[in-house]
Amino acid sequence: MSANASANAHTASNTITIERLNKSYADLKPGSIHYIIKDIDLVIKGGEFFVLLGPSGCGKSTLLNIIAGFVSKSGGNLRVGDEEISKPGRERAVVFQQADSSLFPWLTVRQNVEFGLKMKKMPKEQRRAISDKFIRLVGLFGHENKFPRELSGGMKQRVQLARVLANDPSILLMDEPFGALDAMTRRTMQKELSHIWQETNKTVIFVTHDIQEALLLGGRIAVMSHGPNAHISDIYDVPMGYPRDASLPEFQALHRTIQSHFDAELEGTMYP
Ligand SMILES: Nc1ncnc2c1ncn2[C@@H]1O[C@H](COP(=O)(O)OP(=O)(O)OP(=O)(O)O)[C@@H](O)[C@H]1O
């Protein structure tokens, strides 16, 4: 197989196809079906950096958790490549907003990063080479032997990211991963993630309600309508290279366009 054919095959196997996807918690309102998200149609191509943007409570995490296989769908189809998905899989990994709940406090940075590899019974030297690579990539070189309690919020988030990357999933599902960080650390992490994504060719679905963050990172940005019955109300292409400069007129113009769309969605939330 040629390099191009192999890259295309890889891209196709990482493509996420969502058709008429619904989620309801029927038990919430007995006698009526209450949809959190309704009739979502999306195709996220392998290797794409795709952002889900929407007002608080609209159903972004619900959609991400269905893709992760943590939450069951109520209807519709969900495929990775050709395979119908209904439970978690090794090819998909989730990065949460709070690193605290995902790190093991009794393990060092290195042991946390190597945890999944150890579970897979990978030999020690191989584990060490992989953890070295990703600890360096996220800028934690020199902190390998520290415990989570000795780290700042940003450093913990880097450990979470290094651990996820060490397991080499082809799809990264990121639920407001930088939402709890201060502005400077957040910007640094955004730059690092963008760099890592360009290096690794992973499919990323990134949830945020920050338009600037969406525009700094995403190749496409889907705006979700407010719930209930939330759906994808529009998708914006971001025709700008990386690294992105928020002061450029085209960046600001797209920011204004998405902001007015977002404001209209919020207005709908406040004055239904
Ligand atoms: N287990 C559950 N049972 C009932 N309702 C739920 C459950 N989980 C989530 N919901 C509801 O689904 C809706 C969407 O929640 P979700 O967390 O997906 O929103 P979100 O867009 O990620 O919000 P935020 O940006 O504030 O994190 C909310 O109204 C929430 O109350």
Question: pLDDT tens, 78-117?
Answer: 999 999 998 999 899 999 887 777 899 999 999 999 999 9
Backbone angles phi, psi at 72, to 5 degrees: -80, 145
ipTM of the complex: 0.96
Q: Which residue in 97, 94, 91, 45 sits closest to 71, CA to CA?
A: 94
Predicted confidence (pLDDT) per residue in 1-47, tens digit: 454 555 555 567 889 999 999 999 865 555 666 889 999 999 999 99
Nearest to 161 by CA among 124, 133, 128: 133
The predicted pLDDT at position 10 comes to: 58
What pTM did the predictor assign?
0.89
88 sits in the region (left: phi over 0; alpha: psi -120 to 50; else beta) called: beta
Residue with tokens 């989620």: 23
Residue ID of nearest Cα to ligand 1 atom 26: 56
Select from 33, 51, 62 the residue to mutate for testing ligand 1; criterion: most ligand atoms less than 8 Å from CB: 62
Burial class of residue 56 in the structure, from the number of CB atoms within 10 Å of its CB (0-12 exposed, 13-18 middle, 19+ buried): exposed
Higher pLDDT, 266 or 156: 156
Beta strand residue intervals within the chain, DSSP E: 16-24, 35-44, 49-53, 75-80, 83-84, 92-95, 171-175, 203-208, 220-224, 232-237
Q: pLDDT by residue (tens digit) across 46-69?
A: 999 999 998 888 899 999 999 999
pLDDT value for 181: 80
Contacts of 121 (CB under 8 A, 6+ apart): none
Instruction: Please report the pLDDT score of residue 185 as a whole number.
Output: 82
By three-state DSSP, how is residue 40 classified? strand
- Residue spans of beta strands (DSSP E) within 186-231: 203-208, 220-224
The fourth-level CATH superfamily of domain 3-91+169-270 is P-loop containing nucleotide triphosphate hydrolases (3.40.50.300)
Distance between Cα 251 and ligand 1 center (Å): 30
Burial of 177 (0-12, 13-18, 19+ CB in 10 A): buried
User: So what's the pLDDT on residue 31?
Assistant: 62
- Atom of ligand 1 lying closest to residue 62 CA: 18
Tell me the sheet residues that pair with 234: 223
Ligand 1: does its nearest atom lie under 6 Å from the Cβ of 226? no
Contacts of residue 147, Cβ cutoff 8 Å, sequence gap at least 6? 105, 106, 107, 108, 109
DSSP 213: H
- 98: its two tokens: 């709070």
Measure 56 CA to ligand 1 centroid, in angstroms.
9
For residue 128, the model assigns a pLDDT of 96
- Coil, strand or helix: which one is 241? coil
Nearest residue to 213 (alpha-carbon basis) of 98, 51, 42 = 51
pLDDT at 272: 45
Q: Give me ligand 1 centre to Cα 228, in Å.
A: 10
Ligand 1 nearest atom to the CA of residue 65, by list position: 18
- Residue ranges per domain, the chain? 3-91+169-270
What span, in angstroms and rounded, lies between the C-alpha atoms of 226 and 223?
10
Q: How confident is the model at residue 258 (pLDDT cuts 50, 70, 90)?
A: very high
Q: Are 37 and 63 a contacting pair, CB within 8 Å?
A: yes
- Atom 2, ligand 1: which residue's CA is nearest? 25
The verdict on the CB of residue 55 being under 6 Å from ligand 1 is: no
Look at residue 227 and tell me whether its pLDDT is greater than 80.
no
